[in-house]
Amino acid sequence: MPPSSPMEPSAHASLAVPGTDHGLGILRYGHWGRPVLVFPSEAGHAQDFANNGMLDGIAGLVEDGRTSIFCIDTMDGWSWSAGEHPIEERARRHAVYHSWLEERAVPWIFEQLGGEAELITTGVSLGAYHAVQFAFRRADLAPLAIGLSGNYDVTTFSTWGDPGDETYFANPAAYVRNLHGEHLAWLRQRLSILLVCGQGPFEEQPTRSLSQTRAFADVLREKGIRYEFDLWGYDSAHDWPWWRLQLAHHLPRFV
């Protein structure tokens, strides 16, 4: 049987969400190479990456065995996008998603790979937040995050409710400012963040991606955490065609 096309999944699964009766999907593209964990845009699904042409821009990397792409579902519709709930409840629900990543998704990826390997995380829009948040929480697993058009301050996702500890620890724009001591020293040695954003349509309104990416880059600079901020032009919109170009531009450096 001939190997599957890099544009078709080489493996897939539905993995149970801890403490619930629900499962979330995960798709693998490719057979070899450094694993990239892909978060979709807000309330998106594992298939969105391929359906929106993102694989087209990096098909050569997959075909050459330089990378395997692992795309996952989100729980945004139940967590950050569930506007009927106060922000602290949304943050608690996000913690369930993080548990799924740690307890289900990452072990499945390592099983597919035949052992542990350093992950790259990436995502677009709200997926960029997920990619960066997971890397900060688990830099031991994912020492590089690539955020495309992200907003890294979860308090801008909500207009009501009092933020508490759950919100704080889910909010890189807040807790990274207060990192210190041995953990900060370890992150400075271990973690790298690549932030990419355009200046075109929808990058500021309504997403706030441009201003929040600038602000988060300033936080990373102040804390001495390795980062790059790649600012694209006024034609670069908050949309898939630009994210495809941006990922195709940067990913070859890392795989």
For residue 189, which amino acid is it? Answer: Q
Query: Is the model's pLDDT at 61 over the cut of 70?
Result: yes
The parent domain of residue 145 ranges over: 11-253
Q: Rounded mean pLDDT of 43-68?
A: 96
Instruction: Specify which residues 80 forms β-bridges with.
Output: none
Closest CA to 175 of 192, 163, 160: 163
In a domain, 30, yes or no: yes
Helix (H) or strand (E) holding 111: helix 106-113
In a domain, 132, yes or no: yes
Instruction: Specify which residues 212 forms β-bridges with.
Output: none
CB 36, CB 255: distance < 8 Å = yes
Confidence of residue 83 (pLDDT cuts 50, 70, 90): confident
The per-residue pLDDT for 1 is: 32
The per-residue pLDDT for 160 is: 83
Q: Rounded mean pLDDT of 137-148?
A: 98
Q: How many domains does the chain have?
A: 1
Residues sharing a CB contact under 8 Å with residue 134, sequence separation 6 or more, in sequence order: 37, 39, 98, 101, 121, 142, 145
The per-residue pLDDT for 21 is: 87
Residue 8 burial (10 A CB sphere; 0-12, 13-18, 19+): exposed
Confidence of residue 3 (pLDDT cuts 50, 70, 90): very low
Q: Rounded mean pLDDT of 51-75?
A: 96
The per-residue pLDDT for 157 is: 86
In a domain, 162, yes or no: yes
Confidence of residue 158 (pLDDT cuts 50, 70, 90): confident
Please give the C-alpha separations between residue 146 and each of 30, 118, 180, in angstroms, as whole numbers: 20, 14, 23
Q: How high does pLDDT run on average in the chain?
A: 95
Closest CA to 152 of 127, 123, 129: 129
Closest CA to 32 of 62, 70, 56: 62
In a domain, 3, yes or no: no
Taking the alpha carbons at both ends of the chain, their separation in whole angstroms is 28
Domain with residue 46: its CATH number is 3.40.50.1820
Residues sharing a CB contact under 8 Å with residue 156, sequence separation 6 or more, in sequence order: 208, 212
Query: Is the model's pLDDT at 4 over the cut of 60?
Result: no
* pLDDT tens per residue across span 89-118: 999 999 999 999 999 999 999 999 999 999
Higher pLDDT, 21 or 241: 241
Query: Is the model's pLDDT at 5 over the cut of 50?
Result: no
In a domain, 5, yes or no: no
Q: What angle do CA 98, 112, 57 make, to 5 degrees?
A: 80
Please give the C-alpha separations between residue 106 and each of 14, 72, 117, 220, in angstroms, as whole numbers: 13, 11, 10, 26
pTM given for the model: 0.95
In a domain, 175, yes or no: yes
In a domain, 52, yes or no: yes
Please give the C-alpha separations between residue 79 and each of 26, 108, 175, 240, in angstroms, as whole numbers: 19, 23, 20, 23
How many Å apart are CA 168 and CA 85, to the nearest integer? 17
Residue 135 CB neighbour total at 10 angstroms? 27
In a domain, 1, yes or no: no
